[in-house]
Amino acid sequence: MSDGNIARNTAQATLQEVNAQTINEAGKVLAVHLSYRSRAEQRGRVPANPSYFMKASSSLALTGGTVERPAGTELLAFEGEIALVIGTAARRVSVEDAWSHVGFVTASNDLGVYDIKYADKGSNIRSKSGDGFTPFGPALLPAAEINPDALRIRTWVNGETVQDDTTAGLIFSFARIVADLSQLMTLQPGDVILTGTPAGSSVIVPGDVVEVEVSDEAAGLSTGRLTTTVIQGEQGFASFGNTPKITDQDRIDAFGSEEAAGLAPAVTGKSALTDEVKAKLLSVATATISGALRKRGLNNVSVDGLLATKPGQKVIGTARTLRYVPNREDLFKSHGGGYNAQKQIIDAVGPGEILVMEARGEKGSGTLGDILAMRAQVRGAEAIITDGGVRDLSEVAALDIPTFYNGAHPAVLGRKHVPWDTDVTVACGGTTIQPGDIIVADDNGILVIPPALAAEIADEVVEQERRDAFVFEMVKEGHKIDGLFPMNADWLAKYQQWVAEGNGA
């Protein structure tokens, strides 16, 4: 290794020697903020491109050690990650060539103290750079001998599996990350890239033992378990610098969820749309639901002016969103090609979810075609809603998944649109839709239900539908509207007797 490069052949060196050499030569430790779909779904956002932060190289630590939780803090969190060790210098390398510059792959633990994160203003420099905050090893797997698209990452806390994912769940490939970083800086031999953590990271306390392992099961290769024990530090933060401070959001981010953080979970679409609520909402007309929403002062909760590819079919689900902005050639060049926001959300939408696209009512370009619609169908999505145009309309209409659209157009989205961001609040068909809102759609319209109101509205509309059925029958029998619609006291008593006799169930 006299030439400064990290050699691929480790046969002449012991594991300890190689790890020590790697740490000594690590000029930079670079880390990806968000790269696994499972983590993105947990955080409620899918980035269009990777973003990064740096950790001090002094945070690297050999396997089998301990890490201190600083005195006065409580939110030390683990993140099991796959670490790349650069083998040969990389500057402005292509995605196709990037992997050849990686020397080794190993396990790492991207530890951080959320109590001080506020002071970093997004850089993570102090919260993530404590001594021992990047355990590393134990074995270095030669990059040339593994498949980067088929690696498994697992983490255990006190022997219990808390993270288990594969690189098939990555939003950004390792090669893309290396190539992207090399655009502005030379990646030197020994530099370490932490490639992000899957869902499941959380807070650890003194006495906890965290283990991380990376394996290529097809190749029969494993790093072994990287073991770190948490101990309580005795030295706190001095008053001449920022001192620990925690918000509820810090707790949520550190623990991974409101429930895990011990905070009352917010009502979300998925938690609110229980099987019982779903069945009730599907059993009634959208007009009845609209009336219940209007009684609560919600008059602008309908998506208007759209056509349906599946007339007669009613759908319900929670919203995932995609926002298009008006096309501008330079922005389309940077955001429209490759694995753009449109493709990312299509790959992320799943069962129980409805993809809602904001296209500003612009019909002069397609926002969806048959291939992407098929992908959403294969993913198990309930429906697609766009207030823009649809390409390949006959093919899209032939699919099982219902699509609600504003018209047909043969042009690709680049004529009028740039796919910009996902899982954000959007405007579609004249109303506002937030990620997680409950959507009910059929021939009569498309309605948006705030999750916090779903259960009470479901109960109310079932009762209202039964009352409407009673009134309809009475009118059919020849009774006058006056006093019946709405029901006065006499008619209400007759209605209650009608229900008691088993009608309207």
**Dist CA 161 CA 158 (whole Å):** 9
Query: If you write DSSP's letter for every residue of 470-498 in order, what string do you get?
Result: HHHHHHHTT--STTTTTT-HHHHHHHHHH
Q: Which residues contact 416 (CB under 8 A, 6 or more apart)?
A: 326, 327, 359, 362, 364, 365, 388
Hey, CA dihedral for 350, 353, 359, 361, is it positive or negative? Answer: positive
- According to the annotation, is 152 in a ligand binding site? no
Longest dimension (CA), the chain: 100
Task: Find where tokens 């001095």 sit.
Answer: 238
Cβ-contact 68, 206 below 8 angstroms = no
DSSP, residue by residue, 343-411 = HHHHHH--TTEEEEEE-TT--SSBS--HHHHHHHHHHT--EEEESSBBSSHHHHHHSSS-EEES-B--S
372 is in an annotated binding site: yes
User: Is residue 328 marked as binding?
Assistant: no
- Any known ligand binding at 430? no
Q: Is 392 known as a binding-site position?
A: yes
Q: Comparing C-alpha atoms, which of 117, 418, 64 is closest to residue 253? A: 117
Contacts of residue 367, defined as CB under 8 A and 6 or more positions apart, other chains included, come to: 324, 342, 357, 359, 386, 388, 389, 390, 413, 417
Q: Is 194 annotated as a binding residue?
A: no
Binding site as annotated, residues for Mg(2+): 392
Output the known binding site.
369-372, 391-392
- Binding-site residues from annotation for substrate: 369-372, 391
